[in-house]
Amino acid sequence: MPVFSLGDQVSPVEIAKQAIEKAKEEHHDYVLIDTAGRLHVDENLMGELKDIKELTKPDEIFLVVDAMTGQDAVNVAQSFNEQLGLTGVVLTKLDGDTRGGAALSIRSVTDTPIKFVGMGEKLDALEAFHPERMASRILGMGDVLTLIEKAQANVDEEKAKELEKKMRTATFTFDDFLDQLGQVRNMGPLDDILKMIPGANKMKGMDNLQIDEKQIGHVEAIIRSMTTHEKEHPETMNASRKKRIAKGSGRSIQEVNRLLKQFEEMKKMMKQVTNMQKGKKKGFKFPFM
């Protein structure tokens, strides 16, 4: 994205004026005027913003608010709205400890819609605001719709179907497991994903849950140190193979053994689920169903 700047010795009003002229010359469709941040209301700076508004006549005036500042954010939003006439609010840092209660207060005192929310520091973490999802987060009910959207955006549908088939036929390999890990990691931090699941907030320890992403990296390193045959037939692992894998991944033999055991248990569980589904189709009824 091209950025227009004249340094810090030129007034923001003049920079905004020349930026608009430059954008028209180069036939740009949109211009974003990013003004300096303000932690409190300053009359001189507010006058500057009024001048920029009068000169540029913007279609939208957004106030970016830190969701963790609580009541201060509400006071600032109210003042800016009274003097500038906001058309929307952007609420940032909702990936932190806050649940976004400030969103309710800001909406109430400004009568201005919240347009976007920031769920992280990267560009793809800027999301459109959905009131019902925010309500669910505030109430600790999770955020299933956002979770589904993340899955749709990051999980390959064809691969998912192929994986389902492998699970049903018990032909799931370490390569498949590695592929799944990658797709899940693309959805964002795992502790954030877990918090989107309804009822997760009621699980013991979930409030302070922090998943060490390094542990996932360790698992990936172990799997990548295996040969193609070992990934497809982990039952052939002997002591010398495990030793080689541990050395190649920089992990301990105990960690290699733990991963192999967990993978075997996971395959058994898949087989049990498949058998239960077959039983249902045949009309078999389990005692608890």
Answer with the residue of higher pLDDT: 51 or 282.
51
Average pLDDT, stretch 92-98?
70
Cα 51 to Cα 59: distance, rounded to the nearest angstrom: 15
What is the band of 244 on the pLDDT scale with cuts at 50, 70, 90? very high
1 assigned to some structural domain: no
112 assigned to some structural domain: yes
Q: What is the pLDDT of residue 122?
A: 81
Closest by CA to 242, choosing from 231, 228, 226, 229, is 226
222 assigned to some structural domain: yes
Task: CATH number of the domain at 23, please.
Answer: 3.40.50.300
How many structural domains are present in the chain?
2
Amino acid identity for residue 114 in this structure: I
Q: Are residues 188 and 238 in the same domain?
A: yes
Tell me the average pLDDT of the chain. 77
Q: What is the pLDDT of residue 6?
A: 92
Residue 142 near residue 196, CB atoms below 8 Å: yes
What is the band of 209 on the pLDDT scale with cuts at 50, 70, 90? very low
Q: Are residues 127 and 183 in the same domain?
A: no
Q: What is the pLDDT of residue 136?
A: 64
147 assigned to some structural domain: no
- Produce one character per residue of 215-234: b if its CB has 16 or more CB atoms within 10 Å, e if not: eeebbbebbebbeeebbeeb
Q: Are residues 131 and 163 in the same domain?
A: no
Cα angle vertex 53, ends 9, 84, to 5°? 115
Task: CATH number of the domain at 206, please.
Answer: 1.10.260.30
Q: Are residues 122 and 196 in the same domain?
A: no
Residue 4 near residue 22, CB atoms below 8 Å: yes
Q: Are residues 21 and 86 in the same domain?
A: yes
Q: Are residues 101 and 26 in the same domain?
A: yes
Q: Are residues 133 and 53 in the same domain?
A: yes
Answer with the residue of higher pLDDT: 147 or 253.
253
Largest Cα–Cα distance in the chain?
A: 80
Cα 38 to Cα 17: distance, rounded to the nearest angstrom: 21
86 assigned to some structural domain: yes
Q: What is the pLDDT of residue 23?
A: 95
Cα 262 to Cα 218: distance, rounded to the nearest angstrom: 14
Answer with the residue of higher pLDDT: 99 or 43.
43
Q: Are residues 124 and 164 in the same domain?
A: no
- Map tokens 């193979």 to a residue: 241
Q: What is the pLDDT of residues 76-90, one digit of tens each?
A: 888 888 888 999 988
What is the band of 65 on the pLDDT scale with cuts at 50, 70, 90? confident
Q: Are residues 112 and 170 in the same domain?
A: no
Q: Are residues 157 and 136 in the same domain?
A: no
Q: What is the pLDDT of residues 113-160, one digit of tens each?
A: 889 988 888 877 888 887 776 666 655 555 555 666 666 665 666 766
Q: Are residues 23 and 126 in the same domain?
A: yes
195 assigned to some structural domain: yes
- pLDDT beyond 90 at 242: yes
Q: Are residues 34 and 62 in the same domain?
A: yes
Average pLDDT, stretch 54-61?
94
Entry field: residues in the chain: 289
Average pLDDT, stretch 20-41?
87
User: Domain span at residue 167?
Assistant: 153-272
